[in-house]
Amino acid sequence: MPRVSVWYIRAALVHLVSGAFLGAFYLTFKAVGWPGFALSHLPVHQEQMLVGWLVQLVMGVALWILPRPAGWEPRRSAPALWSVFVLLNAGVLVAALGGDPALPASLAWIGRAAEALAVVLFALHAWNRQQPYRARSRRVIV
């Protein structure tokens, strides 16, 4: 498994555990009004589970498992893939904080913009790594 995939998948697991704790606290809060949970954490749970866990895990596994075309140099892709990692994780945290009414609402769109940029960079990388059998001539863009 490439090192970049290890980072994506482990970060996804961190989001899964963190999001599961928040989800469990929220369900408990709904059931018995347990005061340890603030309602403002619900957007953090949603953002972590959807983007931080599901999307990031799929990206990490895709980078590991998609075919590598002939002539592909992993070093050329590395800066873009690490940028995706940083943008996606920063985006999740910033967008989640944007759901807190006590914080500026602009955080939500800044976070979402970072996530969108991460997805575009990832798609540019992954686009030509889908190939029919025996076709290995296409070039990866980033």
What residues make contact with other proteins under the rule CB under 8 A? 1-3, 5-6, 9-10, 13, 16-17, 20-21, 23-25, 27-28, 30-32, 49-50, 53-54, 57
Q: Which is nearer to other proteins, 32 or 102 (CB)?
A: 32
Q: Which is nearer to other proteins, 72 or 107 (CB)?
A: 72
Q: Least distance from C-beta 60 to other proteins, angstroms? A: 8
User: Cα(13)–Cα(49) distance, rounded to whole angstroms?
Assistant: 10
Place of tokens 């059998």: 133
Q: Which is nearer to other proteins, 27 or 135 (CB)?
A: 27
Q: Of 115, 95, 123, whose CA–CA distance to 107 is shortest?
A: 95
Q: Least distance from C-beta 54 to other proteins, angstroms? A: 6
Helices 3-32, 74-97: inter-axial angle, 10-degree rounding: 20
Task: Calculate the alpha carbon distances from 36 to 20, 22, 25, 47 in Å.
Answer: 15, 10, 8, 20
Q: Least distance from C-beta 129 to other proteins, angstroms? A: 18
